[in-house]
A and B are shown apart, each in its own frame.
Chain A
């Protein structure tokens, strides 16, 4: 036989064997994919149930009863609102060497501890 023939035969055998391996590789990967899909669906369904349960546990009527019973929560009153800029700085910050702006604030806004809290609505009005 000629060399070329041997070469072609070798190539054919290699290709065949390669394809054979590839096929098995693909098969095992497909199997893996199916397994992953299965577990994904299972997890998604579990998640779905958990979300439904979460929605159920989080229903406002339940939270309302739990909040009032266990945490003694009450609806917020309008007078209990304050803006960030209306909250005075903590006393220790004012005492430190923290720059003029802070000192200026401390002058205009004496520490809340020293006096009864100012009426919040009145403060809001001034800032608006």
Chain B
């Protein structure tokens, strides 16, 4: 710049003509000067550009870690209290480049010594091929990795990977499902939220309480062993919002070791299995009859004679051979009475009612194993009666629990869910029966436990109410009287219910203690009673005095046993 200034000033000052050589020299100087100044201004502009402005393409060598950095490729799953249910752990997977393996026989023998799960001859075959890549063993522990490294075999190498780990093991197997070796969700929550779990940063919070889950599982397990049942299932549901607190299906499996699995263990009896529930359906029948105004608690039906429909006969297990009032039909679980009640309600109302409480469609539960209910094709007069007593329609335990929740919570139906609902975004339920009907159902359910078929479900202080259900299983094309589905659906505390507890045993056999009976009242009701007395304290339900006047005023039911007039 300095040079150019002097040059220009000189030029202005100069007026007299000069020799052409000097002129040429000056012109050259001028051009050179301009070129230089252009070059320098480019440098200057670039300097400003580089130093002052930050561009995307610029290589930044270090970034600070993002705040929500996750050391895994799949989000954790936690229970409602934050207990870890599923997480990813870093592992190493061993592979071989066969072409680089010098002595396949030696390598195979040495590897088999370190990894006893593998057999040498198979390893030799793997290593002796003329190929570039073969997995030897996925997901090694650091200890094993170290051992393999110490062999110093050429051609063997490790790839970092991740393995899904379930700290609670089999306890949450049916609920969470599992993933394959490449961490793709194959069942349960893992499958339903597969994409979500890959992309989300924070943990997925379930509505399940792992402690309650454990209690339900251990009680079911001991009942299953005691009554030699082939399977069992249990559900605990929050009646105020449909959140599932526990969901168990037995037998279950270890999600870490999926080889040699059997279909029985993998079958989710709580959601995928649909069963004819039997008498527990009388809760719905009675509720719809009362709610539609067809009957009142004072009303009743003649239960003297069994009803004959075609080949089938509807008869009572505990026949009273007289007129029975509605509460009596409910408490003694009279099939004749309930069938007549259903007949009075009519198939249209019944169908509509069952649809509203989610019995006729499969639930929208957030796992991949959701069974569709088996509903009658033709809904005639006969069907109405059989459905009224819980036959001819098969539903999953989750559906039944959700339906009964709506019956006892004041009449609001909530879709069952496995996700924890935030306090501020509670899902709105749908009213299905009136508050009054709900109260009457609660009183009757309580009476079943106080003086009816469900006495074994009583858990002093927790005001348990419920209904037993015993249904014969269809084996082939016939009902088999020895193969039962024995269940009990209970709720507590009955004056303001908070939780519904369901227990079911698949093909239980009676024992000496139960005098050979394997009905719901003998095998499933005690499970519910024990579960409630153990989970009550955990779920913050305060025991109360069941004989206090306030409670009795709320719960006691006048049971007419004779027809008026």
A contacts, CB < 8 Å to B: 5, 30-31, 33-34, 37, 40-41, 44-45, 48-49, 51-56, 58-61, 64, 75-79, 81, 121-122, 124-125, 128
Contacts and interface: CB of A to CB of B under 8 A. Distances in A.
B424 interface: no
Given A37-B62, A45-B90, A125-B548, A52 B543 contact: no
Interface residues of B, number: 41
**Which 3 residue pairs spanning A and B have beta carbons closest together?**
A78-B461, A55-B84, A60-B214
A77 B180 CA distance: 43
B2 interface: yes
Interface stretch (B115-123, B162-170, B367-375): B162-170
A61 B214 CA distance: 6
Interface in B156-174: 165, 167-169, 171
Contact of A60 (B87, B210, B547): B210
B516 interface: no
Given A55-B84, A58-B83, A60-B213, A44 B167 contact: no
A33 B87 contact: no
Contacts of A76: 537
Nearest to B165: A52
Interface of B: 2, 61-65, 69, 71-72, 83-85, 87, 89-90, 165, 167-169, 171, 210-211, 213-215, 218, 459-462, 533-534, 536-537, 542-545, 547-548, 550
B213 A48 contact: no
A121 B461 contact: yes
B61 A34 contact: yes
A125 B2 contact: no
B9 to A, nearest CB: 14
A40 B67 CA distance: 11
Given A5-B2, A59-B171, A60-B213, 16 more contacts: A30-B61, A37-B64, A40-B69, A48-B72, A51-B84, A58-B167, A59-B169, A60-B171, A60-B210, A60-B215, A61-B169, A61-B214, A64-B214, A75-B534, A78-B533, A81-B543
Contacts of A34: 61-62
B542 A81 contact: yes
A60 B533 contact: no
Contacts of A56: 167-168
A75 B461 CA distance: 14
The secondary-structure label for the interface of chain A is helix
Given A44-B69, A60-B214, A33 B89 contact: no
Contacts of B87: 48, 51-52, 55
Contacts of A122: 545
B51 to A, nearest CB: 8
Contact of A128 (B168, B214, B544): B544
Nearest to B78: A55
A59 B64 contact: no
A59 B168 contact: yes
A121 B543 contact: yes
19 contacts: A40-B69, A41-B65, A55-B84, A55-B85, A55-B167, A55-B168, A59-B168, A59-B171, A60-B168, A61-B169, A61-B171, A61-B218, A78-B533, A79-B460, A79-B461, A81-B537, A121-B545, A124-B544, A128-B544
B545 A124 contact: yes
A41 B62 contact: no
Contacts of A30: 61-62
A60 B542 contact: no
Contacts of B2: 5
B2 to A, nearest CB: 7
Given A48-B71, A55-B87, A33 B171 contact: no
A128 B542 CA distance: 11
A60 B183 CA distance: 26
Q: Identify the interface centre among A41, A44, A58, A125: most chain B CB within 10 Å of its CB.
A: A125
A52 B87 CA distance: 7
A48 B89 contact: yes
Contacts of A40: 65, 69
A57 to B, nearest CB: 8
Given A30-B61, A52-B89, A78 B459 contact: yes
Nearest to A49: B89
A122 B61 CA distance: 73
Given A30-B62, A41-B65, A60 B89 contact: no
B543 A78 contact: yes
B506 to A, nearest CB: 22
B544 A125 contact: yes
A37 B66 CA distance: 10
A79 B71 CA distance: 47
B291 to A, nearest CB: 31
A95 to B, nearest CB: 32
Contacts of B537: 76, 81
A17 to B, nearest CB: 15
Contacts of A125: 544-545, 547-548
Given A40-B65, A52-B87, A128 B548 contact: yes
A78 B460 contact: yes
Contact of A54 (B84, B218, B550): B84
A49 B536 CA distance: 33
Contacts of B71: 41, 44-45, 48
B225 to A, nearest CB: 15
Contacts of B69: 40-41, 44
